[in-house]
Chain A
Amino acid sequence: MSRPIVFENVSILGEQQAHLVIDGGEIDEIVTDGHVNTPAGAIVINAEGLIALPGLVDLHTHLREPGREDAETIESGSRSAARGGFTAVHAMANTTPVADTAGVVEQVWSRGREVGLVDVFPVGAVTVGLGGTQLSEMGAMANSRARVRVFSDDGKCVHDPVIMRRALEYAKTFDAVIAQHAQDPRLTEGAQMHEGIVSAELGLAGWPAVAEESIIARDVLLAGHVGSRLHVCHVSTAGSVEIIRWAKSRGIKVTAEVMPHHLLLTDESVRGYDPRFKVNPPLRTQEDVDAVRAGLADGTIDIVATDHAPHPDEDKDCEWGAAAMGMIGLETALGIVQKTMVDSGLLTWAQVAQALSTVPAQIGRVDDVHGRPLAKGEPANIVLVDPQDNWTVDPSATASRSNNSPFGGVELPGRAVATFLRGVPTHLAARFEGAFA
């Protein structure tokens, strides 16, 4: 049995100061009146200035295993997630083989348990081999030990409207959600970056905003028609935010996520043709950045997810047209959210807890264990954030097996300094290592 831990003077959700005691994998006590009975043998942490949030939950992670262990493994990805403050990640289905059978999702799930740094929840493919034509056996995956509740062909769009409709309907059987990668394939053939002023200048084939928006518009109408849950992956345009806002006002069961890079970067970064800025959907304009920030602030966009997408060096150390799309992001997500949303006054820390923990856990139907309130008797899945730990991103220092971060050299205002999964530390900043030795 691990020792009890007492966090003294920690700020709960950035609000009330308290002493927080965890023991036996649960929150044992939260004392707000100033006096705490330190249990015998407890580890006592001076947490003054630190914020306690429920452990973060990523609804959109690429762990690459099985198949591309040169880019990431479940172990290295889990370690990177824990460092970023996450206690749960949803592993996307576009592995090799594709996670479209109970066998593959159980393999991913059990490897995640074995590693034990975060809870790994596999996402199942909507269609066999991400081929877009035949539904995968969702029932087998939902009823497997992995208990899949999120299905997605992420990386590819379920573009056939009939297949999408059937998937939405069928998923109701398991109270599951279809997470759509909204990208009209015909409108984005050969697309290299956001279509606009910069693409015209750089001579790169454009990825128009309408290719995302038209699919989202269709899908919210379909979801409304059949009464199913739709989740929109990586919302990147102002128009998408408008459509989702409209759909929610009509009572359609749609949720949406935004990526940290779409909160911070624009297509101006593509000048110079550095493939670290190549991502799908692409970096958009400042107007879009402002719109997704506003959408996240007013709740139109429900959550922040990372779309952590590791790629080995050779897939980025090349010309733009030959480079892979995607960027790692587990360790920088929280700092970017603080920089763009908290320090700018758009979100409180309590709202950050909603967007990065509570709501993604609910969407993924893992809210029995994750995204729980910080209260007595709840599982001790907790992240401590130091909002004043200003740091400069060094991509080579990541725990990920890949280092394709676009944020090298960027200063972030804060970060996770300790993460606990069921009371066990999965990440500790150097300052705490002594206490836990």
Chain B
Amino acid sequence: MKHLLTTKDLSREDAIRILDTAGQMAATQEREIRKLPTLRGKTVVNLFFEDSTRTRISFEAAAKRLSADVINFSAKGSSVSKGESLKDTALTLQAMGADAVVVRHWASGAAERLATSGWIHGSVLNAGDGTHQHPTQALLDAYTMRRHLVESPGAAGLDGLRVAIVGDILHSRVAGSNGYLLNTLGAKVSLVAPPTLLPVGITARPELEVFYTLDDALDAHEYDAIMMLRVQRERMTGGGAAFFPSPEEYSRMYGLDAARMARLPEHAIVMHPGPMNRGLEISAEAADSPRSVIVEQVSNGVAVRMAALYLLLAGEEAAA
């Protein structure tokens, strides 16, 4: 692997290799000295065109625990005020000798553009591009599911598991990446959202079952995992957007509360990529229940990102 841009093109073999490597990385984090010398002398740049403190510190922790040098580059730029162009930023990083660039960008496809434009030679790791993909989030979700729901996780996929993804599918790169990866790993995916928050073209993906209410989805299947997506309140009802009538109605129809929790099987886990809107898409009761793995997702994120960086930067030796 040279880049990690999307889960769509990730083979089952590569995905499982990342998850298995993440398992080894997690094991090293139990030790007294958690720092590994693996990427000593390598430079990893966190290039963030969009604020995301959580994702940035997760990548930063991952790189530092592998002994890489980390440069944080926060480039403010939006579609309105462009600021320095992606190209010039990339050329600057290339001149500084970045071995890997972890990029978060507001534009869908920015990571792919960075990887294929010839502006830089290093590896590109997509840390979220617009409303397209966020592959390490999907990998850490899969890793978390495998730990809880698969008996002997080593080398296994998620075959036969059923996962519900609930919320703003239309704008969610998390859903974008999870849809492909879960399918590749053998899980069955149900998408639950008001029709306004589903892409028009989603019907062309028969592997994804779609429900318009959470109750319908809970009636139809027993889920092993339920993933609640963040709803951006201001984007949903303000400025004539009209994706749904009100946060209250959304919460009533799509929120995960105690009553709906009770309809999940005993073993089912509750997930959320964070940050949560307690009281909107998820009640405090659900978020804090023993079946919630939301905090664990964060720590698994570091292990998965260590694995991804390791496989991209020490890939050839690692594969041997």
**Interface residues in chain A, defined as those with a beta carbon under 8 Å from any beta carbon in chain B:** 186, 192, 195-206, 208, 272-273, 314, 317-322
B86, B112, B201, B204: the one contacting A322 at CB < 8 Å is B86
Question: How many angstroms from the CA of A195 to the CA of B173 in the assembled complex?
Answer: 17
Q: How far is the CB of B243 from chain A (nearest CB, A)?
A: 13
The 0/1 profile, CB within 8 Å of A marked 1, for residues 157-181 of chain B is: 0000000000000000100100000
Q: Which residues of B contact A202 (CB under 8 A)?
A: 108-109, 132
Tell which of A192, A199, A319 touches B113, judged by Cβ atoms closer than 8 Å: A319
Which residue from B109, B173, B200 sits with its C-beta under 8 Å from A319? B109
Asked if B201 and A199 sit within 8 Å, CB to CB, the answer is yes
The answer to whether A196 touches B85, judged by C-beta atoms less than 8 angstroms apart, is no
Told that A203-B131, A204-B130, A319-B86 touch, could you supply 11 new A-B pairs with CB distance under 8 A? A195-B200, A200-B199, A200-B204, A201-B201, A202-B132, A203-B108, A203-B133, A204-B108, A272-B112, A314-B85, A321-B110
| Distance between A144 CB and nearest chain B CB, rounded to angstroms | 37
Total A-B Cβ pairs within 8 A: 78
Q: Which of B65-120 contact A (CB under 8 A)?
A: 79, 82, 85-87, 105-110, 112-113, 116-117
Q: Which residues of B contact A319 (CB under 8 A)?
A: 86, 105, 107, 109-110, 113
Closest to B114 in A: A319
Bound state CA distance, A195 and B87, in angstroms? Answer: 27
A272 to B9, CA, bound (A): 13
Contact of A318 among B86, B112, B129, B173 (CB under 8 A): B86
Complex CA gap A197/B203 in Å reads: 8
21 A-B pairs (CB sep. < 8 Å): A192-B108, A195-B201, A197-B204, A200-B200, A201-B201, A202-B108, A203-B108, A203-B129, A203-B130, A203-B132, A203-B133, A273-B109, A317-B117, A318-B85, A319-B110, A320-B107, A320-B113, A321-B108, A321-B109, A322-B82, A322-B86
CA distance A201 to B116 in the complex (A): 19
Q: Quick one: closest A residue to B119, CB to CB?
A: A317
Contact (A208, B112) CB under 8 Å given A203-B130, A203-B131, A319-B107: no
A204 cross-chain contacts in B, Cβ below 8 A:
108-109, 130-132
Contacts of B133 in A (CB 8 A): 203
Find the A residue at minimum CB distance from B108: A203
Q: At the interface, yes or no: B17 with Cβ under 8 Å from chain A?
A: no
Which B residues lie within 8 Å of A317 (CB)? 87, 117
- Contacts of A197 on B, CB cut-off 8 Å? 201, 204
**Is B1 close to A, CB under 8 A?**
no
Q: For the complex, is B202 an interface residue (Cβ under 8 Å from A)? A: yes
Closest B-chain residue to A198, C-beta based?
Answer: B201
Kindly report which residue of chain B lies nearest to residue A204, judged by CB atoms.
Answer: B108
Closest to B130 in A: A203
Question: Is A208 within 8 A of B107, CB to CB?
Answer: no
Is B12 among interface residues, defined by CB-CB distance under 8 A? Answer: no
- Indicate if B291 sits at the interface (CB-CB under 8 A): no
- Point out the residues of chain A lying under 8 angstroms from B176, CB to CB: 203
For A206, the closest partner residue in chain B by CB is B200
Of residues 201 through 216 on chain B, the ones whose CB sits less than 8 Å from some CB of chain A are: 201-202, 204-205
A321 contact set on B, CB distance < 8 A: 79, 106-110, 130
Q: Which of A202, A204, A272 gathers the greatest number of chain B CB atoms within 10 Å?
A: A202
Once the chains bind, are A322 and B116 in contact (CB under 8 Å)? no
Q: Does B42 have its Cβ within 8 Å of any Cβ on chain A? A: no
Q: For residue A195, which residue of chain B has the nearest CB?
A: B200
With contact pairs A201-B8, A203-B133, A319-B86 given, residues A272 and B200 touching in the complex (Cβ less than 8 Å): no
Contact for B109 among A200, A208, A320, CB less than 8 A:
A320
Which residues from B are CB-within-8-Å of A318? Answer: 85-87, 113
Max count, chain B CB within 10 A of own CB: residue among A197, A273, A314, A317: A273
User: With A201-B8, A203-B176, A314-B85 known to touch, is A322 a contact of B79 (CB < 8 Å)?
Assistant: yes
Q: Which residue of A lies closest to B175 (CB)?
A: A203
- For residue A266, give the distance in angstroms from its CB to the closest CB of chain B: 14
Nearest B residue (CB) for A192: B108
Leading 9 A-B pairs by shortest Cβ distance: A203-B132, A273-B109, A321-B107, A200-B201, A200-B199, A197-B201, A203-B108, A203-B131, A197-B204
**Chain A neighbourhood of B129, CB < 8 A:** 203
Question: Knowing A321-B79, A321-B108 touch, does A208 contact B200 (C-beta < 8 A)?
Answer: yes
CA distance A145 to B240 in the complex (A): 45
Contacts of B86 in A (CB 8 A): 318-319, 322
Shortest beta-carbon distance from B183 to chain A in Å:
13
B204 to chain A, nearest CB (A): 4
A273 engages B113 (CB within 8 Å): yes
B202 closest partner in A (C-beta): A200
Chain B residues with CB below 8 A from A208, complex form: 200
Closest Cβ–Cβ distance, residue A291 to chain B (whole Å) = 19
Residues of A within 8 A of B107 (CB): 319-322
B108 and A320 contact, CB distance less than 8 A = yes
Whole-angstrom distance from the CB of B251 to the nearest CB of chain A? 26
Residue of B nearest to A270 (CB): B109
Separation in Å of the A382 CB from the closest CB of chain B? 43
Residue-wise, chain B 187-209 has the 8 Å CB interface mask toward A (1 for contact) of 00000000000011110110000
